[in-house]
Amino acid sequence: MINLAAMHRVRKHPAFADYFAFVLPIFWPVLFWQLLRMADQMDAHGCREVLVQVSWWGGIEITHYGDPAPSPSAYRPITPTRKPWDDPAWATALPMLLNADEAHLLFFPRPCGGSGRAQSALTKGACALQAIADTS
């Protein structure tokens, strides 16, 4: 026996209102029964979403099942892959001279103004810096 009050509540629900609008009113009990059957099949497969095809007489065919519902016990917080920046593991034993801002000049000197070209490609006078007019 179909509970008519439950069927009318389902008919008003926004998720199922389009189904009831598509099906002829004489077949609404069939559609309601098919929706209950669909919910049982979704529970049996353990999924939350399905793709369905609804016929004009209230028949529902499940064409594709969605992803299974995740287990509540499956959540584990993400473990960090690196230590935090304030961890002593990030400390350095380099002397202060190498920690200075000008330390890169010790390893990568720019004798001719840093044009980026190889020394063999530099011509006479290429080491001089060009004057730039200050227009500010």
Domain ranges of the chain: 4-65
Other beta carbons within 10 Å of 38: 15
pLDDT of residue 23: 95
Going from the first residue of the chain to its last (136 residues), give the mean pLDDT of each consecutive group of 10, the final group possibly shorter.
83 92 94 94 91 94 89 78 84 69 63 56 56 71
CA dihedral 89, 90, 93, 99 (to 10 degrees): -170
What per-residue confidence (pLDDT) applies to 51? Answer: 95
pTM: 0.51
Which residues 6+ apart lie within 8 Å of 58 measured at CB?
23, 24, 27, 28, 29, 30, 31, 32, 33, 34
